[in-house]
Structure 1
Amino acid sequence: MTTVDDRPAAPPAGAPRRRVNPVLALLRNSWRQLTSMRTALVLLFLLAVAAVPGSVLPQRGVNPENVDRYFVDHPDLAPRLDQLGFFEVFGSVWFSAIYLLLFTSLVGCILPRARDHVRALRMRPPAAPKRLDRLPAHAVLEAPAAADAEAIAAVLRRRRWRVVVRGNEVSAEKGYLKETGNLLFHVSLVAVLLGVALGSWYGWHGNRILVADPENAFCNTRQQYAEATLGPRVDSADLPPFCLTLDRFEAEYLPSGQARRYWATVTVDNLPGDAARTAGFSVNSPLRLDSANVYLLGNGYAPILKYTDRYGRSQTSTTPFLRTGDPNATEEGVAAFPDANVDPKTGKRAPDQQIAFEGLYLPTAPDQGPFVESRFPAERNPAVVLVAYRGNLGLDAGIPGSVYKLDQRQVENGKLKQIGDKKLAPGEKWTLDDGSTLEFVGTKPYITIAVRYAPGQLLMLVACATLLVGLMGSLFVRRRRVFFRVAAPDTGSPTSGSSLVEAGGLPRTEHPGFADEFAQLVAAVSGDGRDDRRAPEGDE
């Protein structure tokens, strides 16, 4: 019998070698490095490290007020962190680059391993080695109750082993769920990354302060958000139409001042095909609409200040004051009246006659000064401590600024001057030097809401659950093999007529309990022990 060698012939001696394209070689080597398991682990570690700033630093998509406060507290460091994207970590270019590389690396790792695993599932267990006594587990027994290979195979099948019989030999293998769980874990990681990408491309979110007043109703348009971020595939016209009106807000506190319960009641209107309805939500129970979820992020009070200028014209401001970080809900803010002191005869206002009041709101003011901090977060003794400023507020300069703070540049250059300060309780009035008055009418509660649409949430939830299942299989299932060989009866033996069965086994991975499991198998085959059909661990 002749054989044909179909391998390519070696080039003749002295022939020039074929030159390898350096670009293709570089791409091939780069792909191999990227799709290696070591690179995938490094990228996974980098992704975890890159997410740390998103947990430590305030994020614009979650709490823009805290970001503004961080800029005030760290005027030198905050701009540099902002340039690096540390206040929008999960939407930054460098974070996206890491998870895209990780996605590519995982796909490159999974595909060849999945192909090899499918091949392994289709292959039969290997033949028994000639020397079973060299395996880590070995036993020789007489088996009159299971005197042939088919009977031994039946015992193993009942215990859920993959079995193949080759003459008088039985080969069995178990533990393929380990690699299945491993692949399931990595596929779930890819699904998590797909969910993140899907939410980044087609998701959107926005933050808004909502005061309990029908005149302050909020409709879902980009212009009405204090801060909004739309995915690259989302346009302003794609936002679903609905409106929210805060009807009331309930807050309960323990005697220590710790919050016990928050609950907001709103009216939801303008949903397509639905009539207006009343709904409630809290911090851990968001308001779920068909196309968005509304989350409760914070709450506070909006002082109602009524200013009557020297010409007798009254204006009312209901401006939210922001929390200062004090657990007893001390708040600070500004009430500005840029259209005050307009001469009714001429319709003109002097540029230095604008008025503003900056200060603190204390839900529970102390009985005596200093009035710089609230004593309790609920309104037990409400008061405002205000400083009055008159002059040019700088609103006509076109320079963007915060509506919760005065432009300190106007104060420093003398265009905005302080004219007095006063503590007011609800119902009290303050008469200024020009005869104008300010009345503290009361307060209205407000809430800070985040409206979000994340299309990848369900995918990520299923992927995380599947990831845990795959991880459990990868950690607790063990690959192992056992072999049995039935020898012919020895007529010269004192136990003539009994078959001798030689058994051997080896774990494919570290398996401390394999010796006990092998002993149980041998006992089941010999008929000496109870045929427990469940393996002690890794049952599939």
Structure 2
Amino acid sequence: MSTRPPEDDRRPGELSVRELLRWTWRQVTSMRTALILLLLLALAAIPGSIIPQEGVDSLKTSNWQSDHPKLTPVYERLGLFSVYDSPWFSAIYILLMLSLVGCIVPRTFHYWRGLRAKPPAAPRNLTRLPEHATYATAEAPDVVLERARTALRKRRYRLTVDGDAVSAERGYLREAGNLVFHLSVLVVLVGFALGSMFGYKGGVILLVGDQYGFSNNLTQYDDFDPGSLFHASGMEPFSFTIDDFDVDWLTTGPRAGMARGFESHLSYQETPGSPEKKYDLKVNHPLSIGNTDVFLIGHGYAPVITVKDGNGDEVYSGPTVFLPVDQSFQSIGVVKAPDAEPTQIGLEGEFYPTVAFSKQTGSYYSLLGKPLDPMVSMLVYTGDLGMDTGAPQSVYALDKARTTMLTKKNGAPYRIDLRPGQTVSLPNGLGTVSFDGLQRWNKIQISQTPGKWIALAGVVLALLGLLGSLFIRPRRVWVRARREGGGTLVEVAALDRSGGGDMAAVVDEVVAAIQNRREDES
């Protein structure tokens, strides 16, 4: 009884599950897909550099969300406020790594076989190659071939002899350069992935000269962005204070009055009880403690403000951080006095390091960032500041939902303008507000990036691979010597596999090397 194979009932062009998986894998691991994914990754990173990110600056993000109430829900759904942690960015990242692995591994085996392979045999007609030369000699073919082999070996060619011809090839490392370059992209991606998973990044605003300083634990940070596999036990137990802060102001030119350089003078301890050390912290010159880096990323002013209520009791006193909004360090800030009697008091306004008045706009502005004539200008709000609800509040924003802004008799906002040393009495016996002095603050970023050296190694590998693929030229040279008539006919040909090389000079060099050796020996 004969058996026939089962009939295939699939329609033409229909793939089985196995064939579909194989086709999908080939598409994902093709070089074209890898390039597309690399481009998509670069495009996907653009929103992260344009839209404020919660893990980088939560205050700036919340301010942006307040200013764009219609776009905020859409951006939140798309994950645009945390681009690098979003599922779609991770999907591109993972697909790119898979594509690179699928590209590199097969090419590595292919290159390994090619690296061990012998140079190809000489073509039958060397004179048909674009660059060739022939000459006749009375020497025996074996002598000519031995001389050619010696000359090519000195020029670091890999050789093989096949009958009446010598085949030579060099430039094998060009393909290695390509592989190293592609491998380096994978190394960089792995380095960034390790940093994002096991590392952290946080920020804190510290007053200059604050005796309490900063200790590296979670409660001290203003904002903190940990990796998905981060553990607090891996944090370095250091502490530091900012003793002083120097600013180098430009005094001439169109940018006079702007800051040119900053320098924070730190006192730090690597571990509790260890000797205190000094460090001058500058922009792009971080302090490295163990695996943690401390960066100076911003600075500003903190006016010392005192508020007394209607009973004469001091309900608020101390330096208040104002956040700069432009290069002249015009800054915004708030003061909250929830314990004031008979009603809570909130102040919101601007700080001007060097105040000036514009007749066109009828408002104040900051002329320079250097504090030559500082002034605080604030509006006054009374009522419920919303601090008793238990909901978290930003110290840089005032909840005005249940407050009333003080106004003058003509309905205009009641604004208090204070210079250092001045005090103003609030209307209706609400109390007084004083501008007692001015302090500086620094914005410090603290980060731990475990994979940064791996990423750096990947960048170095990329440069080495790129140099190799650009400057190493794979070449093949053949020399054939055979008896013809009463002498020996010598044929020399060369081929540049990368294109664009001057192979005529290579042929002339090989011919001259063979003939010069003969002349030296004679």
TM-score (norm 2): 0.89
Change over 3 Å in CA distance of 1:48–1:513 after alignment to 2: farther
Residues 370-519 of structure 1: pairs in structure 2 closer than 5 A: 370=362, 372-411=364-403, 414=404, 417=406, 420-433=414-427, 434=429, 436-488=431-483, 490-491=485-486, 498-519=487-508
Residue 481 of structure 1 aligns to which amino acid in structure 2?
R
Please tell me whether the aligned partners of residues 57 and 223 of structure 2 are also in contact (alpha carbons under 8 angstroms): no
1:433-490: CA deviations, max 9, x gaps?
2162211111110011110000111111111011011012123323221111111263
Residue 324 of structure 2 aligns to which amino acid in structure 1?
R
1:346-404: CA deviations, max 9, x gaps?
xxxx5xx1112111111111278755211100110111112222211111123444321
- Return the alpha-carbon distance in structure 2 between the equivalents of residues 50 and 513 of structure 1: 43
Which range moved further: 255-264 or 173-182? 255-264
Show the counterpart of 2:324.
Answer: 323
Tell me by how many angstroms 1:125 deviates: 0.6
Please point out which of 101, 114, 117 is paired with 2:111. 117
- Return the alpha-carbon distance in structure 2 between the equivalents of residues 387 and 63 of structure 1: 26
Show the counterpart of 2:207.
Answer: 211
1:313-349: CA deviations, max 9, x gaps?
223132200112x2211001001111222xxxxxxxx
Aligned residue pairs total 500
Please tell me whether the aligned partners of residues 371 and 385 of structure 1 are also in contact (alpha carbons under 8 angstroms): no
Residues 57-206 of structure 1: pairs in structure 2 closer than 5 A: 57-142=51-136, 147-206=143-202
Query: Are positions 1:236 and 2:232 aligned together?
Result: yes
Tell me by how many angstroms 1:19 deviates: 9.1
Show the counterpart of 2:340.
Answer: 340
Please tell me whether the aligned partners of residues 143 and 526 of structure 1 are also in contact (alpha carbons under 8 angstroms): no
Change over 3 Å in CA distance of 1:463–1:273 after alignment to 2: farther
Please tell me whether the aligned partners of residues 306 and 318 of structure 2 are also in contact (alpha carbons under 8 angstroms): yes
- Return the alpha-carbon distance in structure 2 between the equivalents of residues 293 and 177 of structure 1: 38
SS at match of 1:365: strand
Residue 181 of structure 1 aligns to which amino acid in structure 2?
G
Which range moved further: 299-308 or 250-259? 250-259
Residue 304 of structure 1 aligns to which amino acid in structure 2?
V
Please tell me whether the aligned partners of residues 236 and 290 of structure 2 are also in contact (alpha carbons under 8 angstroms): no
- Return the alpha-carbon distance in structure 2 between the equivalents of residues 459 and 421 of structure 1: 55
Please tell me whether the aligned partners of residues 171 and 484 of structure 1 are also in contact (alpha carbons under 8 angstroms): yes
SS at match of 2:81: coil
Tell me by how many angstroms 1:44 deviates: 1.1
Tell me by how many angstroms 1:207 deviates: 0.9
Change over 3 Å in CA distance of 1:418–1:448 after alignment to 2: farther
Which range moved further: 25-34 or 401-410? 401-410
TM-score (norm 1): 0.86
Higher fraction of strand: 2
Residue 60 of structure 2 aligns to which amino acid in structure 1?
N
- Return the alpha-carbon distance in structure 1 between the equivalents of residues 475 and 519 of structure 2: 22
Please tell me whether the aligned partners of residues 143 and 525 of structure 1 are also in contact (alpha carbons under 8 angstroms): no
In the alignment, structure 1 segments of 5+ residues that lack a partner are 1-11, 342-349, 492-497, 532-540
Tell me by how many angstroms 1:273 deviates: 6.5
Please tell me whether the aligned partners of residues 150 and 165 of structure 1 are also in contact (alpha carbons under 8 angstroms): no
SS at match of 2:364: coil
SS at match of 2:368: coil
Which range moved further: 90-99 or 190-199? 90-99
Show the counterpart of 2:288.
Answer: 288
Please tell me whether the aligned partners of residues 210 and 216 of structure 1 are also in contact (alpha carbons under 8 angstroms): no
Please point out which of 511, 514, 517 is paired with 1:525. 514
Query: Are positions 1:365 and 2:355 aligned together?
Result: yes
Fraction of identical pairs, as percent: 39
